[in-house]
Amino acid sequence: MTVDYDTLTKTIVALTAGETDQVALMATIACEVHHADDRFDWTGFYRVTDPGILKIGPYQGGHGCLVIPFGRGVCGAAARTGKVQLVTDVHAFPGHIACASSTQSELVLPVRNASGEVIAVFDIDSDQPDAFTDEDAEKLSAILSKAFSGELRGA
C-alpha cells in the first residue's frame, strides 16, 4: 500500500475542519498518516514544550523517546533548523537517537503555527531503508501547513 495524497489530504481536511486544539489536530493527523502507507512504521509529533526541548505528543506505533533536545537527533535537527530532514539511512546521521532499533530511515517535518513559529516536528520512521521521497516531504508539509496555520478553522 502506498499513500494516496489526494485522498489523505481530503480526509484530514474533512476530519479537522474548524478544529483549533493542536493536540486534537496532531492526534488525528498522526493516525491518518500512519495508516495511509505501509512504509510508515512510527508516526507522531514531538512538541516544543520549553526552549530547545521537544516532548512526545500524539503518535501511532511503538514507544517513542519522551524528550529530545534540539541539539540531538533528526527531530532535534528539524526543530533547530526549521527545515525538513529526509534521512535515507539513520545509522549514517550524526547524533541519531535510536528510539526504536527497527528504524532504518526517517522523515521529520517542522510544524509551524500561523505566526511561523516551530511548535512541533512531525516524525515518520520506517523500518525500510531509503523509504521516503521528496514528494512525501512536499505533500506532508502542505497538509501540516494547512492544519496548523489556521487555514482550516473557518472551513
- For the segment 28-47, the average pLDDT, to the nearest whole number, is 96
For helices 22-34 and 134-148, give the axis angle rounded to 10 degrees: 150
Distances (CA, A) of 140 to 69, 108, 136: 23, 10, 6
In a domain, 55, yes or no: yes
Query: Domain of 84?
Result: 5-148
- Is 154 domain-assigned? no
Burial class (CB in 10 A: 0-12, 13-18, 19+), 129: exposed
Average pLDDT of the residues in 32-39: 95
End-to-end CA distance of the chain: 30
Number of domains in the chain: 1
Asked if the structure places residue 153 within a domain, the reply is no
Q: Please give the model's pTM, rounded to 2 decimal places.
A: 0.94
Asked whether residue 34 carries a pLDDT value surpassing 60, the answer given is yes
Q: What is the CATH number of the domain that holds 66?
A: 3.30.450.40
Asked whether residue 155 is assigned to any structural domain, the reply reads no
Residue at 42 is within a domain: yes
Q: Is 14 helix (H, G, I), strand (E, B) or coil?
A: helix
Q: Residues 88-127: pLDDT tens digits? A: 998 888 777 777 778 889 999 999 999 999 999 999 999 9
